[in-house]
Amino acid sequence: PQTIYLKDYTPPAYLVDHVDLRFVLNETKTRVFSKLHMRPNPDAASEAFFLHGEDITLIAAKIDGTAIDPQIDATGLHHTVPNAPFIFEAEVEINPSANTALEGLYMSGGMYCTQCEAQGFRKITYYPDRPDVMATFTVRIESDLPVLLSNGNPVEAGDGWAEWHDPWPKPAYLFALVAGELVNHPDHFTTMAGKEVALNIWVRPGDEGKCAFGMQALKQSMKWDEDVYGRAYDLAVFNIVAVDDFNMGAMENKGLNIFNSAAVLASPETATDANFERIEAIIAHEYFHNWTGNRITCRDWFQLCLKEGLTVFRDQQFTGDMRGAAVKRIDDAIVLRAHQFREDAGPLAHPVRPASFVEINNFYTVTVYEKGAEIIGMLRRLVGPENYDKALDLYFSRHDGDAATIEDWLQVFEDATGRDLTQFGKWYAQAGTPHLSVSESFEDGTYILHLSQQTPPTPGQPEKEPLVLPIAVGLLDQRGTEIVPTTLLEMTEASQSFTFDDLQDRPVLSILRDFSAPVILKHTQSDATRAFLLSHDTDPFNRWDAGRSLAQDVLVRMTRDQATPDQSFLDGLAAVLRDDSLDPAFRAVVLSFPSEDDTATALFDAGVTPDPTAIHQAHEALTLYLAQHVQDISPRIYADMTVTGPYRPDAADAGRRSLGNRMLSLMSKLDGGKQAQLQFAQADNMTQSQAALTALLKIGKGADELAAFETAWHADRLVMDKWFGLQVGCAAPEQAAGTARKLTAHPAFDLKNPNRFRAVFGSLKANAAGFHDPTGASYALLADWLIKLDALNPQTAARISAAFDAWKRYDANRQTKMRTALQRIADTPGLSRDTTEMVTRILG
Ligand code: B3K
Ligand code: ZN
């Protein structure tokens, strides 16, 4: 397969000013009529005329009304065209029911829907399918189905047809079409400019009762973007459609967002607190793309982080404002460290702006999204919130309507603030996570902080340069009083020292407050100092992180030496638990341990080959020690956290349930599951039933509850995804592969539904000891099913193949078995470009 390079970018040879599309929908033979108003690009480097097109049958084509016989190959259409504006017309046939890749136009549960990002439009008709070609679209849909939707504003509709017009020029990846027997949850919003916007969430009949929360989140997002970024909505309607078969969470098509039903549908009975929070964030994310992605899009796919990093940063700010900034920052750091640091440290490491790719769909990664968002956060810290707002205003005014680049983005900040961002820009090009080493000295009232940064090599990038690191520090005195409040140090060199004068005594350092830069801190602080910070730090992130780092060390020691945890560590946790002045959500997150995979990383970083079986035993042991240590107070806290009244998915109630359910999981280690059975029987919402069922499955019980759950929910696809996932995720290590295999034979297992596939195999990967069972049963099972899935849906198969990315960390037995599984996938005849690229990179 061909590798595409950023350095080879050339402007398009022809531009499209306007597109007329007509769809005559049919499940197996849909006709698409297109009329492209084109002209030569004055800035073009070549005159060659090429339109992308894949898996489509050309029926007829014309230029300026005259039939042509263009040259067609597997990637598109070539012809010679006039050196002046012209009209290209085509009629093509496509087969939506045969489209199991879920890219282009496809069927899901009887409805037609589309997914065009990144390169799906070329499966709909011949077109310059690249984001720097932007056009206005008029779309006519002909079908007997009652609801016919596309981008923009409705123009006219009649019996069996509807017409839409999108006045905002857009790239083809933002095109969307939906047709089906759908019902809507309507509402409306008045913009700050006084314009009325009709809002709809469209769902299959029966799902109407699961839309209210998503609608509320949409209205909150619209308001927030006006208040915080000054950005108002720009069409008369905003439609959201829920689709069961979807490769990702959702898609920001202009005026017609299409959502995985798991990312929009929720009711108290069927969705957990975590589901509600995720839905709120995804609704916001897709809505925010209207400005950061749609009004200003990307010049080419290498610039993906321009829209994704910024939009993730915006949705993180939104969630922080809605639900509390401290816990949100902790949650984001947990995800970044667990997934992005892991990606950055392995064979799949790539810069936030990659320099090359084979299949762009393989680069919708935690690095592009989450590290991309961290870069924006660092920029905001460095220039300050007011300058950030100024730069964003300039970005929107200067680049509205553009397909922009990272250079454009940085230029805006340079122009708005006068700051030179040359070195800062390296964050976009250099892969890998910087390690920040810290040492301290104190003499005669002067405290010196010595910092040095070093980034380990990554594939294709052996040498690394120092980056600009914004490092927020504070100093405390021995009694816990803050003597130097949060100060931002700007590190630019490989090694640098920072001096603080006129101190009475040696201070206690609180560094990287609020996780001010995405780096790995190499700092040996004693257990006593960390325990001190856990109880005294004024920065909530570092307070949590001190406890986290202690817990990580305890888990590493317990894994290596089967040691017992220090009493002082358990006392520290119990003190946080008892402290009723602390937010329950914060207490819950302090009381939860690093994951088994985090411990594997910590061991690997310490030069020890991780043994997932031993890690699992250590985690189980620590949980039992903690359960015993707090058993005198856990029933009281569990009872205190009871939420009365109707279920509300807000942060306050969710935080109480989160702490209560942490207690439940500890209590069930000692009471044989009595309390969990009671909670399961009495639960009137999914958060409480799922937590109870999880607690039971984790102690090897819950068979009756599992059966009752299936009986109650067999008709609800989203709840059944939980049923599939929990069994695999909570299985004992030696039973995980067998459980997953058994579930693939269940009548409700559906290879064509990505949510169901992820429920089983995403959970198998997440069950670290089960996935790494030394027999290799899970590796082989996953390989078998990835091979089957790849033939139908390359994008999802490729994404899940990343489960094998850390194979080189493990012992010879596991390495051999993982390499064999990867090689078997790689050797499969006809393997997709997507999965081929992934397994090739993973094998290295
Ligand atoms: N932009 C889409 C992702 C499209 C993925 C294509 N493989 C969702 C989002 O980031 O908002
Ligand atoms: Zn996005």
pLDDT of residue 1: 81
> Are the beta carbons of 585 and 540 closer than 8 angstroms?
no
Radius of gyration of the chain (CA): 27
- Closest-lying ligand 1 atom to the alpha carbon of residue 249: 8
Of the candidates 419, 433, 289, which has an alpha carbon nearest to the alpha carbon of residue 374? 433
Give buried/exposed letters for 792-818 (b at 16+ CB in 10 A, else e). Answer: bbbbbbbbbbbbbbbbebbeeebeebb
Burial (CB < 10 A; 0-12, 13-18, 19+), residue 592, is: middle
DSSP structural state of residue 151: S
For residues 771, 774, 775 and 779, what is the CA-based torsion angle, rounded to 10 degrees?
30
Question: What token pair was written down for 336?
Answer: 């970044």
Closest-CA residue, ligand 1 atom 4, reads 117
Q: Where are the beta strands (DSSP E) in 147-182?
A: 147-150, 153-158, 161-170, 177-180
- Closest-lying ligand 1 atom to the alpha carbon of residue 252: 11
237-243 and 196-203 beta bridge pairing = parallel
Could you give the CA distance from residue 342 to residue 825 in angstroms, rounded to a whole number? Answer: 22
Ligand nearest the Cα atom of residue 312: 2
Could you give the CA distance from residue 77 to residue 126 in angstroms, rounded to a whole number? Answer: 7
Could you give the CA distance from residue 488 to residue 402 in angstroms, rounded to a whole number? Answer: 34
**Side-by-side strand order, sheet with 177-180:** 104-108, 111-115, 177-180, 147-150
The three-state DSSP-derived secondary structure of 670-737 is: HHCCHHHHHHHHHCCCHHHHHHHHHHHHHCCCCHHHHHHHHHHHCCCHHHHHHHHHHHHHCCCHHHHH
The three-state DSSP-derived secondary structure of 260-272 is: EHHHCCCCCCCCC
Return the sign of the alpha-carbon dihedral for residues 733, 737, 742, 745.
positive
Could you give the CA distance from residue 622 to residue 553 in angstroms, rounded to a whole number? Answer: 12
For the chain, domains (ranges, CATH) are: 1-180 (2.60.40.1730), 297-429 (1.10.390.10), 714-844 (1.25.50.10)
Q: Which helix (H) or strand (E) holds 843?
A: helix 833-843
CA–centroid distance, 54 to ligand 1, in Å, is: 20
CA–centroid distance, 669 to ligand 2, in Å, is: 40
111-115 and 104-108 beta bridge pairing = antiparallel
Closest-CA residue, ligand 1 atom 7, reads 361
What does each C-alpha distance from 697 to 272, 594, 694 come to in angstroms?
18, 20, 5
Q: At what angle do helices 540-561 and 527-536 cross, to 10 degrees?
A: 150
pLDDT of residue 238: 99
Closest-CA residue, ligand 1 atom 8, reads 251
Could you give the CA distance from residue 77 to residue 217 in angstroms, rounded to a whole number? Answer: 43
CA–centroid distance, 117 to ligand 2, in Å, is: 10
Mean pLDDT by 10 residues, the chain (844 residues): 96 98 99 98 95 98 98 98 97 98 98 98 99 99 98 98 98 99 98 98 98 99 99 98 98 99 98 98 99 99 99 99 98 98 98 98 98 99 98 99 99 98 98 98 98 98 98 97 98 98 97 98 94 95 97 98 93 96 97 98 97 98 98 98 97 98 98 98 98 98 98 98 99 98 98 98 98 98 99 98 98 98 98 98 97
Helices (H), ranges, 793-832: 794-801, 812-826
469-476 and 482-491 beta bridge pairing = antiparallel
What does each C-alpha distance from 823 to 133, 140, 488, 530, 740 come to in angstroms?
39, 47, 48, 45, 22
Residue matched to tokens 């939506």: 96
CA–centroid distance, 140 to ligand 2, in Å, is: 27
Q: Give the residues across from 50 on adjacent strands.
A: 78
Could you give the CA distance from residue 68 to residue 62 in angstroms, rounded to a whole number? Answer: 5
User: Is 103 an annotated catalytic residue?
Assistant: no
Of the candidates 287, 300, 210, 291, which has an alpha carbon nearest to the alpha carbon of residue 256? 287
Q: Which helix (H) or strand (E) holds 385?
A: helix 385-399
Cα 834–chain centre separation? 19
ipTM over 0.90: yes
Closest-CA residue, ligand 1 atom 1, reads 251
Ligand nearest the Cα atom of residue 313: 2
Ligand nearest the Cα atom of residue 250: 1
> Are the beta carbons of 243 and 203 closer than 8 angstroms?
no
What does each C-alpha distance from 512 to 501, 517, 671 come to in angstroms?
20, 7, 41
CA–centroid distance, 54 to ligand 2, in Å, is: 25
Number of other residues whose CB lies within 10 A of the CB of residue 482? 17
| Choice from 122, 129, 251, 365 to test ligand 1 binding pocket (greatest atom count within 8 A of CB) | 251
| Choice from 248, 291, 370 to test ligand 1 binding pocket (greatest atom count within 8 A of CB) | 248
User: Which residues contact ligand 1 via a Cβ below 6 A?
Assistant: 117-118, 248, 250-252, 285-286, 289, 308, 361, 364
Could you give the CA distance from residue 63 to residue 81 in angstroms, rounded to a whole number? Answer: 8
Return the sign of the alpha-carbon dihedral for residues 775, 781, 784, 790.
negative
List 103, 142, 280, 286, catalytic entry:
286
Of the CA atoms within 13 Å of residue 705, those in its CB half-sphere come to 27
Closest-CA residue, ligand 1 atom 9, reads 251
Ligand nearest the Cα atom of residue 171: 1
Cβ-Cβ contacts under 8 Å for 784 (sequence gap 6 or more)? none
> Are the beta carbons of 61 and 70 closer than 8 angstroms?
yes
- Closest-lying ligand 1 atom to the alpha carbon of residue 285: 11
pLDDT of residue 397: 98
Cβ-Cβ contacts under 8 Å for 712 (sequence gap 6 or more)? none
- Closest-lying ligand 1 atom to the alpha carbon of residue 117: 6
Closest-CA residue, ligand 1 atom 10, reads 308
Phi, psi of 275 (to 5 degrees): -60, -45
> Are the beta carbons of 132 and 300 closer than 8 angstroms?
yes
> Are the beta carbons of 540 and 546 closer than 8 angstroms?
no
DSSP structural state of residue 606: T
> Are the beta carbons of 41 and 15 closer than 8 angstroms?
yes
CA–centroid distance, 71 to ligand 2, in Å, is: 36
**Peptide bond preceding 118 in cis form (omega within 30 of 0):** yes
